[in-house]
Amino acid sequence: MARTQESAVARWRRDKDRYFESSPDAPVEGPFAGLTYYPEDGAYAVEALLEPFDPPQTVWLTTSAGDAQPYRRYGRATFTLAGRTLQLTLFVPAHLASGEPERFFIPFRDATSGTETYGAGRYLEAGAATGGRVTLDFNYAYHPFCAYSARYRCPLPPAENHLGVPIRAGERLPDAPREG
């Protein structure tokens, strides 16, 4: 019998569930039944054109606790998803503000926020830009820890990262409708 190879997304999800189930630092308390995800879909892994801001600006993102955290507003990613051209701003924590970033932080809201996904929004991370392009794989979109516990203070997506379209990829609420 042929054995299928587990995808990188499936491994990431499995490892995250293991962390939530066994780590004392995990944001969930009590029994853990596993996180819920949309089915993995390659259409949600997109190549984006990255236009760095010159110069990058330091901004303060409001958190779920009502305070603010400093981030460097690095650049704007423009991409096409489901036939629509969309844009998201990529951030870097202010304490990592020197040199070219190896990773970007992308807090965002979309048309699923509050119904199918956590109301405050989700997060996405992306690797370093290559040749003015960056890959955004929404299959890795995840709820911030404040979705599970008030012990955490999480940066909220700024208005510029509110998408008017549904991003049905990545983590979703367990009781959300299963739309395709």
Identify the residue with better confidence: 24 or 155.
155
Any domain includes 49: yes
What does the chain come to in residues? 180
User: For 126-155, b where at least 16 C-beta lie within 10 A, e where not — what string?
Assistant: beebeeeebebbbbbbbbbbbbbeeeebbb
Domain contains 71: yes
Residue 129 lies in a domain: yes
Is 27 a member of any domain?
no
DSSP 165: S
pLDDT category, 99, cuts 50, 70, 90? low
From CA 159, how far away is CA 151, in angstroms rounded?
A: 24
Number of separate domains in the chain: 1
What is the DSSP secondary-structure string of 32-49?
A: ----EEPPP-GGGEEEEE
Q: Which residues of 77-105 are buried (b: 16+ CB within 10 A; e: fewer)?
A: bebebeeeebebbbbbeeeeeeeebeebb
Torsion of CA 107, 59, 50, 84, to 10 degrees: 50
Q: Is 77 contained in some domain?
A: yes
Q: Nearest to residue 167, comparing CAs of 88, 102, 113?
A: 113
101 band by pLDDT with thresholds 50, 70 and 90: confident
Whether 179 is in a domain gets the answer no
9 in a domain, yes or no? no
52: domain range?
44-158+165-172
Residue 28 vs residues 5, 88, 147: alpha-carbon distances, Å = 30, 29, 9
60 located within any domain: yes
What would you report as the CA-atom Rg of the chain, rounded to the nearest whole angstrom? 17
Per-residue pLDDT tens digits for 35-91: 999 999 999 999 999 999 988 889 999 999 999 999 999 999 999 998 999 999 999
